[in-house]
Structure 1
Amino acid sequence: MTPAHETIDIHTHFVPQWWPDLGPGQPWLRLESEREAMIMVGSTEFRRIQSDAWDTEIRLAAMDSDGVAAQVVSPTPVFFSYDTPPEQAVKVARIFNDLALEICAPGEGRLIPFCQVPLQDPDAACRELDRAVDAGHAGVEIGNHVGDRDLDDAGVVTFLQHAADRGVPVFVHPWDMPSSPRLDRWMARWLSGMPAETHLSIIAMILGGVFDKVPDSLRICFAHGGGSFAFWLGRFENAWHRRGDLIATSQQPPSAYLRRFSVDSVVFDPVALRTLVDTLGPTQVMVGSDYPYPLGERPVGQVVHRAEFLSPPDRTAILSGNARRFLGIVT
């Protein structure tokens, strides 16, 4: 690991250059050149990607250019396979978790792999988490819901308790956003659906009593600045107190749980970053980039460097110190 003052990026993704045939209707990669490919889901084009999704040398060069000491490398959510039979999701998770280790190995510690698990089956998810962590994964990325089951679902809570017991950090990424004629224009599923999905899942963690059930040792971080949660905390708090007959289902009001989770800095604007820091506190925000996708931030961490309101200690904490705590890195 490189010096503590350098940036640690806790939100990046990978896609392998190859994987075995997963069967009809499952993701596969249509290579279009040495540098470009299309992620396919069955016969449907999902996303065009570049070789920086799988090429370790390109990734490391980009990190060097941006002053990134280390980055967490997580699955691309389209591969979660939560809508398949559990045995299929186990197969997919094992394949991609093992390939992630191959991609990260040349980084000599700078690339920190996070695994995926078959979250629709809590027992299988716990087993795959154990297998992946024992093989070298440092954490796990999960989707923010499994069909209509949110993060307060009993099975998901069982998994989160297991992650806490093992000391494994959890990164929550929105995925599988609703589709409609209104949301299918202008990338609206990504521009409005993703923030809403993440916001809803934090609400579920609070009102569903998850933070009341799982130990304080659970380290959990939400992508994309926690979606719209920080901006609407006041509305949430007001509703908890004024309509307690409907939503005061948690032991404490929403504001009491703000130190129980972290968010990344993928908000692009110092004004938005200030809202996160003012709401959650400077200890709860970590640099993320969403590398290598085009809606991500480059250079990595620029919103933190541009934020004139940050004190030097708070800037250092957001750039690296908070991530070290989240990842369990002893300095």
Structure 2
Amino acid sequence: MLVDAHAHLLPRDYPADAPECFPRMEPIDGDTVRTLLFGAVRFRARDVFFDAERRIAAQDASGVDVEVVTPMPPLLRYDLPAAEGLSLARYVNEFAGTLCSADRTRLVGFGMVPMQDPDAATAELAAIQEQGLHGVEIASNVLGVSIGDERFLPFFAEAERLDLPVFVHAMPAMTDRLPASAMGTYVVGLEGALAAASMIAGGTAGKCPDLRISFSHAAGGFPLMLPRAQYFWGGAWNEEPVVPERAIAHDDGPSPIEYARRFYYDSLVFDRRAIRYLIDLLGHDRLLVGSDFPAMPREDPAGRTLLGMDLPAAVLDAITAGNALRWLGLPPP
């Protein structure tokens, strides 16, 4: 069994009388492709984004049994006024529910919320569940503020209370430290790292121990930052016992690596050497398959790199399916 825990959807259309803040999906004559127009975004969207039949056929063609479908990241527009952001989220969530209703054994839908208004976002979590959606997607920052900031703690506490899994998608924040061409590569990697680190450093991971949260692209550079954080916490190399006289940032709680091993990470890191590092540092029980499909092409077949790594059967089964089902709170098949 293979679960793709990182895939995306786009609504096919938006109402003719939709608020001006809504995106548009312009048809292309003689083609099933549509163009997403949303602020500065111009994106050519294939019909697999919004057609359930085509979507399931694509799963079959690439060896995917279940797909977690989340809103395409450009829809997470936290710069909109809160009321407009809520209206857009509700429309996208309704579409997600409709798309997944075609076959809920193959399509597991996540919704979105207006994180620019933490109170409204928190209140909307129950509505997401009531719509039959299985979790919520958020961006790695909210208008430049990392998700581990204390203002978002009630949101995560409510997700934990509702037993609702969270998917954090790395999203570029404005920076002039790198050229614009690096936004989708290096900056996304930095954002994933900052998001995961903020959940630990800001205290949310400690206050929400049962929160089921996953990070796209293995939280970017976060796994390489962890050993340094561990050293500052414990004063020792290689996760050895604490050396009190060397510890700089020690506390009585779990270590940074122990917190990090509560999170889940999709293993879309494009290199078997990186996957081996993730297994060694975080544990094979923390990793999921992800593809970013259909924004990016899947490997053929899905998970090809993982399948070719000669991993023990139990490890491979965990990464391809078992961990994702545990993150989602679904029973094994």
Q: TM-score, normalised by structure 1?
A: 0.90
Of residues 63, 70, 90 in structure 1, which corresponds to 2:66?
A: 70
- The CA deviation at 1:295 is 6.1
Partner of residue 38, structure 1: 35
For structure 1, the residue ranges without an aligned partner over 5 or more in a row are 1-5
Q: Secondary structure at the match of 2:195?
A: helix
* Residue of structure 2 equivalent to 1:313: 314
Aligned equivalent of 1:207: 201
**1:1-331 equivalent positions in 2, closer than 5 A:** 6-20=1-15, 22-24=18-20, 26-33=22-29, 34-42=31-39, 44-180=40-176, 182-185=178-181, 188-214=182-208, 216-241=209-234, 251-294=253-296, 297-308=299-310, 310-331=311-332
Looking at structure 2, the residues matched to 250 and 120 of structure 1 have their Cα atoms a distance apart, in angstroms, of 33
Check whether the contact 1:266–1:296 (CA below 8 A) recurs between aligned residues: no
> Structure 1, residues 31-50: CA drift from partner, whole Å, max 9, x if none?
224322222123x3432221
- How far is 1:293 from its partner? 1.1
> Structure 2: which amino acid aligns with 1:37?
R
Work out whether residues 5 and 266 of structure 2, in 8 Å CA contact, stay in contact via their aligned partners in 1: yes
Structure 1 residues 299, 206: CA separation in 2 closer, same or farther (over 3 Å shift)?
same
Aligned-residue offset at 1:126: 2.1
- Structure 1 stretches of 4+ with a deviation exceeding 6 A read none
Equivalent position of 2:241 in the other structure = none
Moved more, 115-124 or 135-144: 115-124
Report how far residue 178 of structure 1 moved.
2.6
The answer to which of 124-133 and 137-146 deviates more is 124-133
Residue identity in the other structure for 1:236? A
Q: 1:19 to 1:236 in 2, by over 3 A?
A: same
**Inter-partner Cα distance in structure 1 for 2:229 and 2:150:** 23
One-letter amino acid of the structure 1 residue matched with residue 185 of structure 2: L
- State the Cα distance separating 1:180 from its structure 2 match: 3.8
SS of residue in 1 equivalent to 2:290: coil
| 8 Å contact from structure 1 (residues 121, 155) kept in 2 | no
Q: Which amino acid aligns with 1:136?
A: G
The alpha carbon displacement at 1:128 in A equals 1.6
Mean Cα deviation higher: 77-86 or 18-27 = 18-27
Q: After TM superposition, give the deviation of residue 209 of structure 1 in Å.
A: 1.1
Asked if 1 retains the 8 angstrom alpha-carbon contact of 2:115 and 2:138, the reply is yes
User: Counterpart of 2:331 in structure 1: which amino acid?
Assistant: V
**1:3 matched residue in structure 2:** none
Provide the aligned length of Structure 1 versus Structure 2: 320
CA distance in 2, matches of 1:299, 1:249: 45
TM-score, L = length of structure 2: 0.89
Larger mean Cα displacement after TM superposition, 313-322 or 175-184? 175-184
- SS of residue paired to 1:73: strand
1:232-285 Cα shifts (integer Å, max 9, x gaps): 32233234456976x668944311213210100111211111111111101000
Give CA deviations for 1:13-67 in whole Å, capped at 9, x if unaligned. 001110125544542222224322222123x343222111111111111111122
Q: 1:88 to 1:302 in 2, by over 3 A?
A: same
Going from structure 1 to structure 2, the CA distance change for 1:45 and 1:326 (only over 3 Å counts) comes to: closer
CA distance in 1, matches of 2:18, 2:232: 46
Q: CA RMSD in A?
A: 2.1
Q: Any unmatched runs of 5+ in structure 2?
A: 236-245
CA–CA distance in 1 between the matches of 2:286 and 2:247?
27
Which amino acid is the alignment partner of residue 329 of structure 2?
A: G
Aligned partners of 1:207 and 1:249 also within 8 Å: no
What is the DSSP-based 3-state SS (H/G/I as helix, E as strand, rest coil) of the residue aligned with 1:289?
A: coil
Say whether the 8 Å CA contact 1:207–1:248 is kept in structure 2: no
